[in-house]
Homo-oligomer: A and B are copies of this chain.
């Protein structure tokens, strides 16, 4: 977030990340920018054709383009098959990541039987319970809490007010944004005919390496066995993951999605925002689900799945939606019409 003073020439960038320079390879860049709001020493990219119109007028020193747009720009450029991925790498190179400041803040409360690596940074008002562990180079933000025996691996970053309940395990390089809750009780209740009886939730949450978890996302502990998030899973904000869900490696899930108990999602899936997945459903690897879709049964083949009510002006929607309640009847009437027509045809032949 601080302006970096380090700069790179395009020649240096392609030496690191590949691609081809068109134009002056000695152009230097020190910051990223959008095409629209670029200035001197910035590098921008074009990945979405919707922003093509900004290419002609951009003030960026350099742009990253796919071969298709190679000749649509005048500025110096790097041509690469995957401009957004390329940009991600350049942006990471130019960013000045926050370095942990080793030590435990004087206001933090760390149990005498907790194990905090000396290179870790423990912020103000952090609570670390008995038997909990924090690994090398991890940063625990203000007010975050680790329950008994919770474990955070190396180079993790828990932002403000993250709550890790007892016994839950995080791997290395896990990022959890502010307000994340890991290991709260799953919604396990049994009805006795009159009232609900709570089922103790004795499983844990196990999160593997390189997982990122968005702000205010919640991941419940398992009822008996564990809730599991595999390597490289990326979770956006305000996602709800219920007890005993299992999410396969490198799956990405957009914001506001809710995943009910015991769902099993495969590897390399892409789940849109505000999706709902019903309990006990299994989803194969490489499945993509459109935003706002409700997945009510298992999906065993890769592919893109959708189920979204198309919006329209309210008046039209009212007129059309009312017929949804007659759809079965309409289908019957169409079948009856087909019979009727066939009959007439027979009678005419």
Binding site for B on A (CB under 8 A): 1, 32-34, 36-37, 48, 50, 82, 84-85, 87-89, 91-92, 94-95, 97, 105, 107, 109, 123-125, 127, 141-143, 145, 148, 159-161, 163, 165-167, 175, 177-179, 181, 184-185, 187-192, 194-200, 202, 204, 210, 212, 214-216, 218, 220, 224-225, 232, 234, 236-238, 240, 242, 250, 252, 254-256, 258, 260, 273-274, 276, 278, 280, 289-296, 303-328, 330-331, 333-334, 337-338, 340-341, 344-345, 347-348
Contacts and interface: CB of A to CB of B under 8 A. Distances in A.
B189 A234 contact: yes
B123 A125 contact: no
A330 B36 CA distance: 46
Given A124-B109, A177-B184, A184-B178, A293 B276 contact: no
Contact of A328 (B292, B323, B337): B323
23 contacts: A1-B202, A32-B200, A32-B224, A33-B224, A85-B190, A85-B192, A87-B199, A179-B181, A179-B216, A184-B237, A187-B236, A238-B238, A260-B291, A274-B276, A294-B309, A296-B308, A296-B311, A304-B314, A305-B317, A306-B321, A310-B322, A310-B324, A320-B324
Contacts of A324: 309-310, 320, 324, 327
A237 B240 contact: yes
Contact of A325 (B87, B148, B320, B340): B320
A202 B1 CA distance: 5
Contacts of A166: 1
A333 B142 CA distance: 64
Contacts of A216: 179, 181, 216, 218, 238
B306 A190 contact: no
A74 B166 CA distance: 36
A218 B215 contact: yes
A314 B303 contact: yes
A305 B317 CA distance: 8
A308 B320 contact: no
B306 A310 contact: no
Given A48-B280, A310-B321, A327-B327, 6 more contacts: A159-B184, A238-B240, A240-B273, A323-B331, A326-B331, A330-B331
A279 to B, nearest CB: 9
